[in-house]
Amino acid sequence: MSAPHAHNPAELLAQWWSAYAGTNEDDDLLPPDERLAVTAPFGQAWPGPLVSNDLVTDADEMAVAYAEVFADQHPQARLGLVAAADGADALAAAGWGGPVNYDNDTAKFSAVVRDWERRFGVRVVAVGFDTLHLSVAAPPTNTQGALRVAAEHFAFCPDSIWQGSRPYTLAAYAERLVGMNSWDFWWD
């Protein structure tokens, strides 16, 4: 595994977007016409990351609030401590392998989460075998911003869209992100 600081999060998201939004005929994930419908209005063109909002809530306070909700909804969850500077680094330090079916270098995902910590006040609240649960202090506040964040989420974890609730499109996913103070990811 590499080190999280060795990666540029914007470049990673652009590379992943290209891989998942592309219309490679040899790819078995989705037929090209369906793939373009999923990533509309952007199609194959990476829109770039959303510039951050000002934090509306203290990021650590939001993490505590979401951790309480998460613990109530998942009473079987257990506390884990990792010697790391922040939650993003903890993913790599712990050797978390959630997205291994897409990329087995967790440091890349840690780099993106660190960027989200800076831009959206994200905090890692829980991880599972193939899941990641984040609190969000500064979620997108309008549909246009949410659509850009949805594109980031698709690049980071395409299963968020491909295997989420119907319809399987960025636009439908974005509607759920407006004002949402938690982001949950699951890799198949």
Band (pLDDT 50/70/90 cuts) for residue 121 is very high
Residue 116: pLDDT band with limits 50, 70, 90: very high
In this predicted model, what pLDDT tens digit does every residue of 15-34 receive, in sequence order?
999 988 876 555 556 677 77
Residue 188: pLDDT band (50, 70, 90) is: confident
The tens digit of pLDDT for each residue in 42-60 reads 988 899 998 876 666 799 9
Average pLDDT rounded to a whole number, residues 1-6: 84
CA distance 164 to 57: 27
Token output for 28? 């078995």
Q: Over pLDDT 90: what percentage of the chain?
A: 57
Give the number of C-alpha atoms closer than 13 A to the C-alpha of residue 47, restricted to the C-beta side.
21
Please indicate, yes or no, whether the overall pTM of this predicted structure exceeds 0.85.
yes
Q: How far is CA 94 from CA 52, 117, 128, 154, in A?
A: 28, 18, 12, 24
